[in-house]
Chains A and B, each alone.
Chain A
Amino acid sequence: MLPLIAFFILSAVAIVSAILVITRRNAVHSIIALIVTLFAVGGIYLLLHAEFLFAVQVILYVGGIMVLFLFVVMLVNLDVTLTQAQFNRQWQVAVVTAGLLCGLLAYAFYNGGRGFGLPQPPLGPEPQHNTQAIGMALYQNYMLPVEIASLLLLVAMVGAVLMAKRKLE
């Protein structure tokens, strides 16, 4: 019972603030709305017993990326954009396309018999601590992807620095 209610509240918050993200004129408002959405999504993770992920979400996503967004919004000319048009010229077409996508997904759902033909979940004990499990998986099975991810972050860092520099020397 409780998880269901929690789910509905969290999902409502997520969806509403997502809509706010894409509709706010002021970019800062959009960022705030996005933060709210991210928090809601983190809550969903908690519901799903993914505590580590919730922590990562909040620290990394909200605390890092969103703050970065905020800084950049400050650097960028904000006042001017307030008076300009929000939506571009193709918004009708885009909405139609999105609607079609929605319809497609609905069709898939319907064909799947109002649910997904998911195979039976494996019977077995509940997993132990989430963080431990993730740690074990990361450093044993997914060693290579971790290294590659770190390389990716290095590249991104170098790239970001290069991009933001004033002049190439």
Chain B
Amino acid sequence: MNFLNFIWLIPVLPVLGALIQLLFGRKLSNKAVSFVSVGLPGLSFVWAVGCFFQFLGLPEQSHHVFIKDIYSWLPAGAFHLSNGSLGYLDVHVALQLDPLSAVMMLVVTGVGFLIHFYSIGYMAHEGGYYRFFGYMNLFMFSMLTLVLADNYLMMFVGWEGVGLCSYLLIGFYFLRKSAADAGKKAFVVNRIGDAGFLLGMMLIVVTFGSLNFLEVSRAARSGQFEVGNGIVTAICILLFIGATGKSAQIPLYVWLPDAMEGPTPVSALIHAATMVTAGVYMVARSNALFALSPTALHLVAGIGAATALFAATIGLVQNDIKRVLAYSTVSQLGYMFLACGVGKYDAGIFHLMTHAFFKALLFLAAGSVIHALSGEQDLRKMGALRHKIPTTYGTMAVAALAISGIPPLAGFVSKDDILWQAFAGPHGHWGLWAVGWVTAALTAFYMFRLIFMTFWGESRVPHDVEHHIHESPRTMLGPLVCLAALSVIGGFIGWPKALLGGAWFEKFLDPVFEGNLPAPAHGYSQGLEYLLMLLSIVAAAAGIYGAYRLYVQRPELPERAAAAAGPAYQVVLNKYYVDELYDALFVNRSKDLGNGLAAFDLGVVDGGVNGVGWSTRMSAELSRLWDIWVIDGLVNVAAFVVKVLSYPARVIQTGLVQSYAWFITLGVLIFLAYYLIHF
């Protein structure tokens, strides 16, 4: 079976599902919908696995890249590049399978399939079942297009597609105003990032003459451009702006917490495992460009680190279970960008993969908890659930351990790799490491705060809900267990050399980053690496212990601490008022602009049109006056002249014979006079 030849099936199978659901889904039963829309992504995953193994077996000459060209999409023709040489732009619809896209493809199809499977149980009682699965399948198609594309433009198509599906799915419960608003906010904020992405793409076209990843990377590595080139820096910064929009970094992260309005599987798939990682994928893809711009790399690392810390502090005090997880996602994405920013792209991608496992698991388990509590999401109304919903508790605890970085779970391996590179790598800085380390402690703390408040301690569940607490059905628990297993063993493929691992993941991704992997330079010793590793574990343990003390042993402490902190607590609870700031600076100003333009339209444009109408009326008025006074006047004058001139003629007609006789006499007189006087 030649999987690679039909690699296009991987995105196409889900889109078939989307088409079926969106065209006929209304008439299908839930069972039929599930069969189609979970089966097709499942098939897609199978195909992806087949392609992957076939790819592994490809000969060396292929340079670890497999391209499947579908057709030539935009043969745009010849044009001049910014350096004067002639370029020829020819954008294809083609799929590229290389190690990076293989990893992404497997994560997307695998985790995606598990989440689809989970949704059968979760969404069973919701209206619009077919619509949900239609949109989810459409999302799978867009995301797979994004990761399997072989050029920036096709990736952008997928980019936009996932943005659209995010909007559709966040606003799934569209009758709720908060959900509709959240969807709108996500789309608009994404759009701002997309503007940067587009500008970056256009600069790539005029600088490199192509949008194809291989061609651009080859041109960038050819030595044609010096390190620190201004144009390339601009390209990288613009692309990164796009990444901040999609991957929720500062300053465009504000949509992600609001996106929790969507159903929990949506949060799991789109806003944890896959869509938000598209930015990281894009930066990794463009590593050749970023290598030419240390400024951009510093920016990426700086923003990544700052976002990680910032989001973690907000997550500490949130009371909605999904909000905590949302801020956690933002924070972890910061880690991934930090990794890319210090040049260790494979660490970023590794963390992306492990994060997909445990974050998806956390969300799905949270969904399970919410399902058990008949819709309750507030942590303050939960507690002592671990014996009532044990499977959910068990899997969620595993995920929490993983995200906190407790070895040997997956999170430890990836996070530790990032922290080591942040400290010791050629582009690293101890400041970056410090921020990352503190964030790790905070991560462990808030994660276990969530666990303890939900599953331990005294039950704060309202009485009427307590009776209905039940474990979720097996269709929901199955994926939880799978993901828990992956969270445990997922780390092993990237086990670092320092701990006698094979670092296979790193080696696997090597060809893509072509020597961008920095060696453990600066002559740092192995001992330092062990020390930092130990420090990370200590930080995690401290976080867990702190959460235990505050939320299990002495539950009254958090409230006292909050009261003591006073206004500082309020600021953090209200997310540092960033949303309000954006409202004042941008949102309301845009509305003002809109109102101003509307007033302009009404006043000037409509006024102009009305003015034209008025002037037409006025000219008609003038015509009327002209007609009455001048035209009629002339006619009246003519009549008057006739009357005046005819007056004598009229008056003469007396009807009296004698006056006529007199006239005759007068005539005779005149003739006679003339005759006599002249002759």
Nearest residue, chain B, Cβ from A91? B658
Count residues of chain A with CB under 8 A from any CB of chain B.
12
B-facing residues in A62-101 (Cβ within 8 Å)? 88, 90, 93-94, 97-98, 100-101
**A104, B662: Cβ atoms under 8 Å?**
no
Apart from A88-B658, A100-B669, what 19 extra A-B contacts exist at CB < 8 Å? Answer: A88-B656, A90-B658, A90-B659, A90-B662, A93-B662, A94-B665, A97-B665, A97-B666, A97-B669, A98-B665, A101-B668, A101-B669, A101-B672, A104-B669, A104-B672, A104-B673, A104-B676, A107-B676, A108-B676
Q: In the assembled complex, which residues on chain A have CB atoms less than 8 Å from the CB atom of B668? A: 101
Q: In the assembled complex, which residues on chain B have CB atoms less than 8 Å from the CB atom of A93? A: 662
Q: In the assembled complex, which residues on chain A have CB atoms less than 8 Å from the CB atom of B666? A: 97
How far is B659's CA from A26's CA once the two chains are assembled, in angstroms?
Answer: 23
A-facing residues in B639-666 (Cβ within 8 Å)? 656, 658-659, 662, 665-666
Nearest residue, chain A, Cβ from B658? A88
Query: Within the complex, what minimum Cβ distance (angstroms) separates A32 from chain B?
Result: 24
> B: which residues have CB within 8 A of A?
656, 658-659, 662, 665-666, 668-669, 672-673, 676
Nearest residue, chain B, Cβ from A111? B676
How far is B665's CA from A94's CA once the two chains are assembled, in angstroms?
Answer: 9
**A101, B665: Cβ atoms under 8 Å?**
yes
8 CB contacts below 8 A, A to B, read A90-B658, A90-B659, A90-B662, A97-B666, A100-B669, A101-B665, A104-B673, A108-B676
Q: In the assembled complex, which residues on chain B have CB atoms less than 8 Å from the CB atom of A90? A: 658-659, 662
Query: Within the complex, what minimum Cβ distance (angstroms) separates B652 from chain A?
Result: 12
Q: In the assembled complex, which residues on chain A have CB atoms less than 8 Å from the CB atom of B669? A: 97, 100-101, 104
How far is B360's CA from A142's CA once the two chains are assembled, in angstroms?
Answer: 152
How far is B673's CA from A111's CA once the two chains are assembled, in angstroms?
Answer: 13
Q: In the assembled complex, which residues on chain A have CB atoms less than 8 Å from the CB atom of B672? A: 101, 104
Nearest residue, chain B, Cβ from A112? B676
**A97, B676: Cβ atoms under 8 Å?**
no
Query: Within the complex, what minimum Cβ distance (angstroms) separates B253 from chain A?
Result: 116
Query: Within the complex, what minimum Cβ distance (angstroms) separates A111 from chain B?
Result: 8
Q: In the assembled complex, which residues on chain B have CB atoms less than 8 Å from the CB atom of A111? A: 676
Q: In the assembled complex, which residues on chain B have CB atoms less than 8 Å from the CB atom of A104? A: 669, 672-673, 676
How far is B660's CA from A90's CA once the two chains are assembled, in angstroms?
Answer: 11
Q: In the assembled complex, which residues on chain B have CB atoms less than 8 Å from the CB atom of A101? A: 665, 668-669, 672
How far is B658's CA from A90's CA once the two chains are assembled, in angstroms?
Answer: 9
How far is B678's CA from A108's CA once the two chains are assembled, in angstroms?
Answer: 11
How far is B651's CA from A90's CA once the two chains are assembled, in angstroms?
Answer: 14
How far is B235's CA from A150's CA once the two chains are assembled, in angstroms?
Answer: 134
How far is B669's CA from A97's CA once the two chains are assembled, in angstroms?
Answer: 8
The 9 tightest CB contacts between A and B, nearest first, are A108-B676, A97-B665, A101-B669, A104-B672, A104-B673, A100-B669, A94-B662, A88-B658, A90-B662
Q: In the assembled complex, which residues on chain A have CB atoms less than 8 Å from the CB atom of B665? A: 94, 97-98, 101
How far is B673's CA from A100's CA once the two chains are assembled, in angstroms?
Answer: 10
Q: In the assembled complex, which residues on chain A have CB atoms less than 8 Å from the CB atom of B662? A: 90, 93-94, 97
B-facing residues in A11-33 (Cβ within 8 Å)? none
How far is B676's CA from A104's CA once the two chains are assembled, in angstroms?
Answer: 8
Query: Within the complex, what minimum Cβ distance (angstroms) separates B673 from chain A?
Result: 6
Bitwise interface map of A from 97 to 131 toward B, beta carbon under 8 Å scored 1, else 0 = 11011001001100100000000000000000000
Nearest residue, chain A, Cβ from B663? A97
How far is B177's CA from A168's CA once the two chains are assembled, in angstroms?
Answer: 109
Nearest residue, chain B, Cβ from A107? B676
How far is B673's CA from A101's CA once the two chains are assembled, in angstroms?
Answer: 9
Nearest residue, chain B, Cβ from A101? B669
Query: Within the complex, what minimum Cβ distance (angstroms) separates B464 from chain A?
Result: 125
Q: In the assembled complex, which residues on chain A have CB atoms less than 8 Å from the CB atom of B656? A: 88
Nearest residue, chain A, Cβ from B676? A108
Nearest residue, chain A, Cβ from B661? A94
Q: In the assembled complex, which residues on chain A have CB atoms less than 8 Å from the CB atom of B659? A: 90
How far is B679's CA from A108's CA once the two chains are assembled, in angstroms?
Answer: 10
Q: In the assembled complex, which residues on chain B have CB atoms less than 8 Å from the CB atom of A88? A: 656, 658
How far is B666's CA from A97's CA once the two chains are assembled, in angstroms?
Answer: 7
Query: Within the complex, what minimum Cβ distance (angstroms) separates A72 from chain B?
Result: 17
How far is B676's CA from A107's CA once the two chains are assembled, in angstroms?
Answer: 9
Nearest residue, chain A, Cβ from B656? A88
How far is B672's CA from A108's CA once the two chains are assembled, in angstroms?
Answer: 10
Q: In the assembled complex, which residues on chain B have CB atoms less than 8 Å from the CB atom of A98? A: 665
How far is B658's CA from A88's CA once the two chains are assembled, in angstroms?
Answer: 9
Nearest residue, chain B, Cβ from A97? B665
Query: Within the complex, what minimum Cβ distance (angstroms) separates B648 from chain A?
Result: 15
Query: Within the complex, what minimum Cβ distance (angstroms) separates B117 from chain A?
Result: 128
How far is B72's CA from A37's CA once the two chains are assembled, in angstroms?
Answer: 137
How far is B659's CA from A107's CA once the two chains are assembled, in angstroms?
Answer: 26
Q: In the assembled complex, which residues on chain B have CB atoms less than 8 Å from the CB atom of A97? A: 662, 665-666, 669
How far is B328's CA from A68's CA once the two chains are assembled, in angstroms?
Answer: 148
How far is B670's CA from A101's CA once the two chains are assembled, in angstroms?
Answer: 9
How far is B413's CA from A79's CA once the two chains are assembled, in angstroms?
Answer: 156
How far is B673's CA from A67's CA once the two chains are assembled, in angstroms?
Answer: 39
Query: Within the complex, what minimum Cβ distance (angstroms) separates B660 from chain A?
Result: 11
How far is B658's CA from A93's CA once the two chains are assembled, in angstroms?
Answer: 12
Query: Within the complex, what minimum Cβ distance (angstroms) separates A75 from chain B?
Result: 20
How far is B668's CA from A97's CA once the two chains are assembled, in angstroms?
Answer: 11
How far is B676's CA from A101's CA once the two chains are assembled, in angstroms?
Answer: 12
How far is B154's CA from A107's CA once the two chains are assembled, in angstroms?
Answer: 126
How far is B669's CA from A104's CA once the two chains are assembled, in angstroms?
Answer: 8
How far is B665's CA from A107's CA once the two chains are assembled, in angstroms?
Answer: 18
Query: Within the complex, what minimum Cβ distance (angstroms) separates B622 from chain A?
Result: 53
Query: Within the complex, what minimum Cβ distance (angstroms) separates A166 from chain B?
Result: 24
How far is B666's CA from A98's CA once the two chains are assembled, in angstroms?
Answer: 9
Nearest residue, chain B, Cβ from A108? B676
Query: Within the complex, what minimum Cβ distance (angstroms) separates B654 from chain A?
Result: 9
How far is B675's CA from A111's CA once the two chains are assembled, in angstroms?
Answer: 13
Query: Within the complex, what minimum Cβ distance (angstroms) separates A82 from chain B?
Result: 20
Query: Within the complex, what minimum Cβ distance (angstroms) separates A132 from chain B?
Result: 38
How far is B673's CA from A90's CA once the two chains are assembled, in angstroms?
Answer: 22
Query: Within the complex, what minimum Cβ distance (angstroms) separates B670 from chain A?
Result: 10
Query: Within the complex, what minimum Cβ distance (angstroms) separates B649 from chain A?
Result: 18
Q: In the assembled complex, which residues on chain A have CB atoms less than 8 Å from the CB atom of B673? A: 104
How far is B665's CA from A76's CA once the two chains are assembled, in angstroms?
Answer: 29
Query: Within the complex, what minimum Cβ distance (angstroms) separates B171 from chain A?
Result: 107
Q: In the assembled complex, which residues on chain B have CB atoms less than 8 Å from the CB atom of A94? A: 662, 665
How far is B550's CA from A9's CA once the two chains are assembled, in angstroms?
Answer: 172
Query: Within the complex, what minimum Cβ distance (angstroms) separates B82 from chain A?
Result: 111
How far is B669's CA from A156's CA once the two chains are assembled, in angstroms?
Answer: 30
Nearest residue, chain B, Cβ from A100? B669
How far is B666's CA from A111's CA once the two chains are assembled, in angstroms?
Answer: 22
Query: Within the complex, what minimum Cβ distance (angstroms) separates A73 from chain B?
Result: 19
How far is B485's CA from A159's CA once the two chains are assembled, in angstroms?
Answer: 149
